[in-house]
Amino acid sequence: MNTEYSVIVVEDEPWVAQDLCAILAAAGYKTFPPVTRGAEAESAIAESRPDLVLLDIALDHGLSGIEVAAHLRATLAVPIVFVSAHSDPDTIRRAVEVEPRGFVVKPFIPEQVVATVSAAIRQKPSVLNTKSAPGLSMLTKRERQVLEALLSGRRISGIAAMEGLSVHTIRNQVKSIMFKLDVHSQDELVTRFTARER
């Protein structure tokens, strides 16, 4: 079962959103009340902290799904699977630029939704390994969480919002991480771990 994982649906058609939530719940995923407006997505996601966002590309009422995804990538860096009836090359190109974990094409079938979400969540390994990166064992649990977030592309302001802490507090935690790992800048910190992954 998938009860340890949670998914939030961002879809402007209520009946489609309810269908997606029902499919996910039947597969064992925890779901949250669906979000129907792009402008409300970030706050809902920051509050619920899902493992994955199922996001419609063609949202009405303001922000498009691609715009929402780009903003989420810069702030919360939560994995995204796009839902779309659009398969034209330009839409696909713009969607790929924000690096989603997958696509669900409308009209969808339950098996397709579950398989895509399951594969996307499995793509979320920890980037931290104490054996391959000496010094990590000195970090506190919170510092490791902050480091994970930084390496996932989140900004300090986004981490602060997600954790419900001040930017000043997160900055201090980052300084502590850099001291313990003997690096002198955030760029050096990120480079150290991305170089290990190559």
Domains with residue ranges and CATH for the chain = 6-122 (3.40.50.2300), 136-197 (1.10.10.10)
- As a dihedral over the C-alpha atoms of residue 182, residue 187, residue 190, residue 194, rounded to 10 degrees, the angle is -110
pLDDT tens, position by position, 47-102: 998 999 999 998 876 788 999 998 887 777 788 999 988 666 778 788 888 888 88
CB 11, CB 82: distance < 8 Å: no
Mean pLDDT value across the chain: 83
Could you tell me the pTM of the whole model?
A: 0.63
Mean pLDDT (whole number) for 171-191: 85
Residue 135: pLDDT band with limits 50, 70, 90: low
List the structure tokens of 27: 């597969």
Q: Say if residue 191's pLDDT is above 80.
A: no
